[in-house]
Amino acid sequence: MSDKNVHVSKGEFKNIDFRSVGFEHGFYENCTFDNCNFEEVDFFSSTFTSCKFSNSDMTSIIIDSVTFIDCEINKCGLLRVDFTPILEGENLSVKFYDCSFTGSYFLLVDLSKCTFFDCSFEFCHFEGVIFKGSILEKCDFDEARIINTDFSNVDLRTTRNMIASYAQNNFSRAVFSSEFLKNGLF
């Protein structure tokens, strides 16, 4: 891994094990990462703009001071990732498709500019998280711990297995399915 920052535009990375070869910190624009291994890779201070990650292992990545702007992450495992170092909402604008966040930790993270389709948040910890106005479609929150989280203006009709205290979270103007309300998941 190099100490200097690289600038890569329109790079294509396929079948690369960054855990073995190392990851160069820097600026990545319009890059694609397909079937790559990022397990436990440190992305410190890197910026990804209009990048696409697909079919990649992002387990336990380190994202201190990392920025994702207008990125897509598709069919990736983001297991046991601590999203806390991304504190500013401007630093995280991502569309996630069919991703697993199992065991990840979200403390005071602004996810309001993110979209989640068919994602799993099993055994995740959410505290002080802002989902306000984001899209959560067909997401599974099985065994997730949700405290002081803002779901205002979020459509939760297709969300599964969410158990959250109405008193401890903000559900102002959120939309629920009748099944969600009937099962008393608050």
Q: What is the rounded CA–CA span in Å between residue 65 and residue 156?
A: 30
Give pLDDT, residue 92: 84
Q: What is the mean pLDDT of residues 19-41?
A: 97
Q: pLDDT of 77-86, one tens digit each?
A: 999 999 987 7
Tell the burial category of 95 from Cβ atoms under 10 Å away from its Cβ (0-12, 13-18, 19+). Answer: middle
Give pLDDT, residue 165: 86
The DSSP secondary-structure symbol of 12 reads E
For residue 43, pLDDT over 80 is answered with yes
For residue 89, pLDDT over 90 is answered with no
Which residues is 49 bridged to in the sheet? 29, 69
Give pLDDT, residue 164: 87
Tell me if 125 sits within 8 A of 143, measured CB to CB: no
pTM for this model (two decimals): 0.91
Lowest-confidence segment of 16-20, 39-43, 106-110, 177-181 by average pLDDT: 177-181
Give pLDDT, residue 1: 45
User: Which phi and psi angles does 90 have, rounded to 5°?
Assistant: -65, -20
